Chain A
Amino acid sequence: DVKVTQSSRYLVKRTGEKVFLECVQDMDHENMFWYRQDPGLGLRLIYFSYDVKMKEKGDIPEGYSVSREKKERFSLILESASTNQTSMYLCASSLGTGGKPHEQYFGPGTRLTVT
């Protein structure tokens, strides 16, 4: 089974702190994604990566950055956390073969609270 793990289930940070959310997948997937999930808004794409060292902005990248130094690991960084970044953060991965859509496998999520 594909496994996507996220470093923390719950995280509480203060406004202005730099926050790192880590995601690791064990299936050698090329694609990795970071979403945030908010009630009534569904899942919104923050950043994604199709390969090591490669990153693309999603729909709501402002206030976030990412890092993909190794194929299995994709990190989301909140440079200076703000209260409006309180949310559930979901990481996902998928195979990446020539643009054909493949199932995305999700981690359990990190519920981040910024106070």
Chain B
Amino acid sequence: GENVEQHPSTLSVQEGDSAVIKCTYSDSASNYFPWYKQELGKGPQLIIDIRSNVGEKKDQRIAVTLNKTAKHFSLHITETQPEDSAVYFCAARYNKLIFGAGTRLAVHP
């Protein structure tokens, strides 16, 4: 069945460093790849998404890359700040969203 694997499960970086989270998906028909950020006590919130006709998308300090051949996509956060600390979820969609297990990112001042 459809599956999304996300790595790492936890990530600890120093403020100002970059952070990379990687996901792989199983359904080659997937055409939409959003990333959600969940802060403590809140529901997930969309931070960036990419569709299958695009290889890379950037929004200020965050970027997402997509390799459809390898069925990989990644989230890149540059110049990390303490407020980036949260749980991040990737997802892939064909007829419904399938979420990864999540990555807990800690940014230390």
Q: How far is the CA of A24 from the CA of B33 in the complex (A)?
A: 26
Which of A48, A58, A104 has the largest count of B CB atoms less than 10 A from its CB? A104
B43:A108 contact, CB within 8 angstroms: yes
Of A14-22, A35-43, A63-71, the stretch lying at the interface with chain B is A35-43
Report yes or no: B96 in contact with A45, Cβ–Cβ below 8 A.
Answer: yes
The answer for the CA separation of A43 and B89 in the assembled complex, in Å, is 9
- For B59-86 the 0/1 string (1 means CB < 8 A from A) is 0000000000000000000000000000
Q: Which of A35, A101, A109 contacts B93 (CB 8 A)?
A: A101
A112 at interface, CB cutoff 8 A: no
Q: How far is the CA of A48 from the CA of B41 in the complex (A)?
A: 23
- Let me know if A109 and B99 touch, CB within 8 A: no
Number of A residues with CB within 8 Å of any CB on chain B: 20
| Interface majority SS (helix, strand, loop, mixed), chain B | strand
CA of A114 to CA of B100 in the docked complex: distance in angstroms? 26
CB-nearest residue of chain B to A102:
B32
Secondary structure type dominating chain A contacts: strand
User: Smallest Cβ distance from B13 to chain A, in angstroms?
Assistant: 21
Is the beta-carbon distance between A42 and B89 smaller than 8 angstroms?
Answer: yes
Given A4-B43, A104-B46, A106-B44, A43 and B96 touching (CB < 8 A)? Answer: no
Contact with B along A1-17 (1 / 0, CB 8 A): 00010000000000000
Mark each residue of chain B from 31 to 54: 1 if its CB lies under 8 Å from any CB of chain A, else 0.
110101000011111100100000
B100 and chain A: residue at smallest CB distance = A42
Closest Cβ of chain A to B1, distance in Å, is: 8
Cα-based distance from A109 to B42 in the complex (angstroms): 7
Please tell me if the beta carbons of A103 and B43 are within 8 angstroms of each other in the complex: no
Q: How far is the CB of A51 from chain B (nearest CB, A)?
A: 16
On chain B, the residues within 8 Å of A90 by CB distance are 43-44
Residues of A within 8 A of B (CB): 4, 35, 40-45, 48, 58, 90, 92, 101, 103-109
